[in-house]
Amino acid sequence: MSNEINDLAQTPSLFSEFALPEPLLEAIDDLGFTECTPIQSAVLPFSLSDYDITGQAQTGTGKTAAFLITILTKLWEEGSENPGKKFPRALILAPTRELAMQIESDGRELSKYMGFTLQSIVGGIDYQKQLNSLQSDPADIVVATPGRLIDFLNRKYLSLGDIKTLVIDEADRMLDMGFIPDVRSIVYKTPQKSRRQTLFFSATFSEPVIRLANSWTLKPERVVIEPENVATDTVDQQFWLTSTKEKNQLLAKFMSTTKPNRALIFANRRDRAHSLMKYLKQNDISCEVLAGDIPQPRRLATLKRFKEGGIPYVVATDVAGRGIHVEGISHVVNYDLPEDPQDYVHRIGRTGRAGAPGISISLISEDDAFNLPLLEEFLGSPINCIQPTV
């Protein structure tokens, strides 16, 4: 790999400093953004010049906008190079349908003045509806999870021969979820890496992830955004000592007395998420659940209500919570402390966004204590557990 760019060395750039299409700049302005995040400042000078990228960054750092801005600028510059528009010219692969659909939503907001079509192809959504949409108005940009995309490709509903830009998002999560064989099959159906641009992102770069990056990119620029800088500066992290038996009661008392404006509560398992949601409702606390076993239309409806303020609290598992980007989340509660420190940083990054203050509360019982040393090492500072005052 080529030179590494560390976010600490980067001076924030303004979007207006890049030669972006005017309709794209107008959409960015509508969203209220002027200054780039560190990863955007580091990625855009190279990605807009057609370099491949390997980026170490988590969800919440702004990488989605970085690769969408790159894709939309490239499509705009190509103009009518592909006037038939039968097949997509950009492909974004994501590990979960929630993340894929969030990327699609972000892409629609950024491209609203440009006339490009985006389509998500994900499992858990009506198959025929997705196919009809794709055939009636072929997409310039496809955002997909591997399984459903493989199905479309095998049935020859789609070709990847025109792909100019390939994005592989959260590669380490793809690896953990067993998607890499499918992703490899998909990548081989796109043009050779010398004839496409590849933007490869992962929260961690283990040896297996490095091997994937080396095989799918060509002389990439390496960008590193340190996980500790994602959200912790604006999040008040609290660790409350309790017992496993008292967790439910403590959480219900906190929610009832403090009444957080908008809170996201994480549990490690789907059965625990369901039981916790039922317990909170029994205590007159309005909430809903987001877990992997919930039908996709219901999950989308829940997420929509949460974003619009129709429900104040959501109990979620990590898989279901992966695509949650909701403004104004005041509190994140770790009912269970996750085993993976990366998941902890991802969770608390749902609050304290865009410089706003946020609060994270982790309920530490005898079962959670085993995960504290690894989290302390990851964060680089000791964790002070306190007795709750509610």
Query: Which strands form 53-56's sheet, in the order they lie side by side?
Result: 4-6, 221-224, 53-56, 197-202, 165-168, 90-93, 141-144, 118-121
Q: Please give the CATH superfamily to which domain 231-386 belongs.
A: P-loop containing nucleotide triphosphate hydrolases (3.40.50.300)
CA distance 369 to 57: 27
Ranges of CATH 3.40.50.300 domains, the chain: 4-226, 231-386
What Cα–Cα distance (Å) separates residue 215 from each residue in 108, 168, 209, 319? 31, 13, 10, 27
Rounded mean pLDDT of 104-109?
A: 94
Q: Can you spell out the DSSP letters for 153-214?
A: HHTTS---TT--EEEE--HHHHHHTT-HHHHHHHHTTSPPGGGSEEEEEES---HHHHHHHH
Tens digits of residue pLDDT in 184-241: 999 999 999 999 999 999 888 889 999 999 999 999 999 987 654 444 577 899 999 9
Among 217-226, 264-273, 303-312, 351-360, the range scoring the smallest mean pLDDT is: 351-360
**Degrees to nearest 5, angle at CA 95 with 25 and 204:** 85
CB-count exposure of residue 76 (10 Å: 0-12, 13-18, 19+): middle
Tens digits of residue pLDDT in 149-180: 999 999 999 999 999 999 999 998 898 888 99
Task: Place 292 in a pLDDT band, splitting at 50, 70 and 90.
Answer: confident
Residue type for position 16: S
Task: Place 321 in a pLDDT band, splitting at 50, 70 and 90.
Answer: low
Encoding tokens for residue 331?
A: 């509190």
CATH architecture of 4-226: 3-Layer(aba) Sandwich (3.40)
CA distance 69 to 20: 8
Q: Kind and range of the H or E element at 222?
A: strand 221-224
pTM of this prediction?
0.68
Length of the chain: 390
What Cα–Cα distance (Å) separates residue 122 from each residue in 125, 130, 290, 292? 7, 9, 17, 14
CA distance 140 to 128: 20
CA distance 134 to 117: 10
Tens digits of residue pLDDT in 122-143: 988 888 999 998 888 889 999 9
Q: For residue 342, what pLDDT is reported? A: 76
Q: For residue 325, what pLDDT is reported? A: 72
CA distance 258 to 256: 6
Task: Place 3 in a pLDDT band, splitting at 50, 70 and 90.
Answer: low
Residue type for position 367: D
